Amino acid sequence: MLREHQARQRRERLAWGEAWHDSGHVFTYEDGRMLRPDHVTHLFRRLAKEAGLPLIRLHNLRHTSASLALAAGVPMKVVSDRLGHSSESITSALYTVVVPAVAREAAERIANVVPLPTRTYDEGEAVLARR
């Protein structure tokens, strides 16, 4: 889809000629000008409504993407870079709700490989067995 968009944008650039605005943005008006945030918001709302999706803030998609990435085990550094944060600590601070869930899952995975005692002798010795 991005390649198709890029080809369409090249055609628009040629059609507009000298009037083309080289904003450097991927998504622009057909003359290359940067999209206004309120225009994107209105378009998003319209498309969501047409698709029968619940109306949410556009910014929530960013949060959802980051939360899903962290829950999927994507390293914090990668998520931070994708969001354009200057440091991992910013990402971590903003997504503290997700981080404990990820940490809990990691702890459960680790616990699953730790041998547990199957029976205890009077002398306090434990016979260990893998789960």
CB-CB contact of 23 with 33 (8 Å): yes
On whether residue 95 sits in a domain, the answer given is yes
* 3-state class (DSSP) for residue 117: strand
Is residue 22 a part of any domain in this protein?
no
Question: Which amino acid is located at 131 in the chain?
Answer: R
Residue 109, domain extent:
56-131
**Residue 123 confidence (pLDDT):** 56
Task: For residue 76, tell me if it sits in a domain.
Answer: yes
- pLDDT tens-digit readout, 62-117: 888 998 898 888 999 999 999 999 999 999 888 877 667 777 777 888 888 887 77
What integer pLDDT is reported at residue 41 of this predicted model?
92
Class of residue 124 by CB neighbours under 10 A (exposed 0-12, middle 13-18, buried 19+): exposed
Which structure tokens are listed for 97? 């709700």
Q: How many domains does the chain have?
A: 1
Residue recorded with tokens 């899952």: 105
> Of 61, 91, 93, 94, which Cα lies nearest the Cα of 77?
91
Instruction: Return the closest-CA partner of residue 73 out of 42, 48, 104, 47.
Output: 104
Residue 77 lies in a domain: yes
Judge whether 31 lies within some domain: no
The answer to whether position 104 is within a domain reads yes
Instruction: Answer yes or no: is pLDDT of 127 > 60.
Output: no
At 120 the pLDDT is 60
Residue at 2 is within a domain: no
Residue 68 counted as domain residue: yes
pLDDT digits (tens, 9 = 90+) for 22-75: 998 999 999 999 999 999 999 999 999 999 999 889 888 888 899 889 888 899
Give yes or no for a contact between 16 and 7, defined as CB atoms under 8 angstroms apart.
no
